[in-house]
Chains A and B, each alone.
Chain A
Amino acid sequence: MDKALTSKHGPLIAGGLIGLIAVALAHFGNPGNMGFCVACFTRDIAGALGFHRAGVVQYIRPEIPGFILGSFLSAMMFREYSPRGGSSPAVRFGLGMFAMLGALVFLGCPWRAYLRVSGGDWNALYGVGGLAVGVIIGIVFLKMGFSLGASDKNPKASGLVMPLIALGLLAFLFIAPKFGENAPVFFSEKGPGSQHAPALMALAAGLIVGWLAQRSRFCTVGAIRDFLMMGDAYLLKGIISFMVVAFVANYALGTFNPGFEGQPVAHSNQTWNFLGMVLSGLAFTLAGGCPGRQLIMAGEGDSDAGVFVLGMLAGAAVAHNFSAASSGAGIGAYGIHVTVAGLIFCAFVGLFCRDRG
């Protein structure tokens, strides 16, 4: 199996399996077209921890710690655990924050953008289009010499921080402690946060996908980047099989509902579906990979990816505390403001961060 995953067909095989698992998770309780959504799930975790108080999106999604731990175990087993860090961590925190803000204007990370299309949510076509444009802008910056600089080797133990945080989150999920009246840990009683596949099933899914993605380098942003930049379809095949398998599974289960209106956890403001994902795609490209990939690299011991993930967690809190997140009713009161601010931030980073080596 490992030979297949690390072969030239690795992303193709991993993508198909991940697409199948995603639709299964939605079938067994996750919100519609949300088998996996790194942005939504991280946002739910931020809510469960009380970093924001949007009562309908609070749950410790075990898929996220599952990704980190699955990758960590896989990296350990295959001798690819290599603690590293120090490549502009504060910039990466900002990129993670704005990637999340853009994703919550659209209502989904790139993984969910593809899954939404596979489920017939045509609003997400604007999101995927925006994602591609964001990646193209990122490519332009890369060609102009953009770099966040090189990371260095770090002490072995430093790479354990994100896996330990993942274990802590799982403890919060399964023990469900209360830290006082009206204090976390919160679990939504209604809304998307209350819809979830059984916790052990979701955790197993997360661990399996963490392993598949660690071995195959599955990346939903690198796929577009490598294809457009170098004509390399290696990762793109992973996305195509991810979408095709998810479509077939949705169709078989009766969850393929084509159209624009009444789609699950989605709105139909096309301009901001598009621009939210331009921001997200650009921020992910500047950071070197999609949110799933950042979780996987964090599991391998990459502290810079870990900082990016913590930036996403902070971005989720900002999105809901400052009324910037969208909902099924439309975009948030300050969704436009944060998107514009994020694009300015990314343009600044893209133009002025260069490798001094």
Chain B
Amino acid sequence: MSDVITVNASGLSCPQPVMLTKKALDGLSSGTVEILVDTATSRNNVSRFASNKGWNVDVEERDGGGYKLTLTK
């Protein structure tokens, strides 16, 4: 099991959460990447981007607001 990469994109304006996700996934053929976002819009945008790239997306609501997206491939 390789290390989990965590990207904190909470509070960032569009399209930065997706850009950070892209940066984390680029060159990665498999593994686990966690993305933290604060809004439903960012949650949807990151999910759509990652699914389109063939990653599995698991969404979890965080205590105190926001979402943790776990991307696996």
Q: Which residues of A are at the interface with B, using a C-beta cutoff of 8 A?
A: 6, 8, 80, 82, 84, 86-87, 142, 147-153, 217, 219, 222, 225-226, 229-230, 232, 234, 287-289, 300, 304, 355, 357
Contacts and interface: CB of A to CB of B under 8 A. Distances in A.
B11 interface: yes
Main secondary structure of the interface of A (DSSP, over half): loop
A294 B47 CA distance: 22
Contact of B38 (A82, A225, A287, A304): A82
B13 A234 contact: no
For B14, B38, B44, B48, the residue with the greatest tally of chain A CB atoms inside 10 Å of its CB is B14
B44 A217 contact: yes
Given A153-B64, A153-B65, A288-B15, 8 more contacts: A87-B13, A150-B12, A153-B38, A222-B14, A222-B15, A232-B52, A234-B48, A289-B13
Interface residues on B, range: 20 to 34
Interface string B24-49: 00000000000000111100100011
B10 interface: yes
Contacts of A230: 15, 18, 22, 49
12 contacts: A8-B48, A142-B15, A142-B16, A147-B16, A150-B12, A153-B65, A219-B14, A222-B15, A225-B14, A287-B13, A289-B14, A357-B8
B5 interface: no
B4 interface: no
A84 B11 contact: yes
B26 to A, nearest CB: 12
Nearest to B19: A142
B66 to A, nearest CB: 8
Nearest to B22: A230
A181 to B, nearest CB: 45
A152 B11 contact: yes
Nearest to A153: B65
Given A80-B40, A153-B65, A217-B44, A225 B13 contact: no
Contacts of B65: 82, 153
B2 to A, nearest CB: 25
Nearest to B39: A82
Contacts of A232: 48-49, 52
A147 B44 contact: no
